[in-house]
Amino acid sequence: MSISPQRLKALETRSNEDIDYSDIPELDESFFAAAELVQPIAKSQVTLRIDADVLDWFRAQGKGYQTRINAVLKAYMRIQSKR
């Protein structure tokens, strides 16, 4: 989903007081009592040979293509692990 430049400009000029937070519940003590710290999984940088057409396709999907490649590989790994 892309946001038009006009919409971005309108959002930039909006003051914090004009933002409606009424549909967002406040975080109280019970939330933080049950909250759990989740650390991200460390990633390793590797050199990987991928067919040019595959890489071009992922890059054409836009920003975050490396994250999507990782997600595809992770899904494959999970499926194979269940066998």
Domain positions in the chain are: 42-83
* Whole-number Å distance between alpha carbons of 66 and 45: 11
Q: Report pTM.
A: 0.54
* Residue position matching structure tokens 């999984």: 41
Give the pLDDT confidence score for residue 1 in this predicted structure. Answer: 65
Q: Which amino acid is at 46?
A: V
Nearest Cα neighbor of 58 from 68, 48, 49 is 68
Residue-wise pLDDT for 16-67, tens only, equals 899 888 999 889 999 999 999 999 889 999 999 999 999 999 999 999 999 9
Give the pLDDT confidence score for residue 2 in this predicted structure. Answer: 78
Q: Which amino acid is at 21?
A: Y
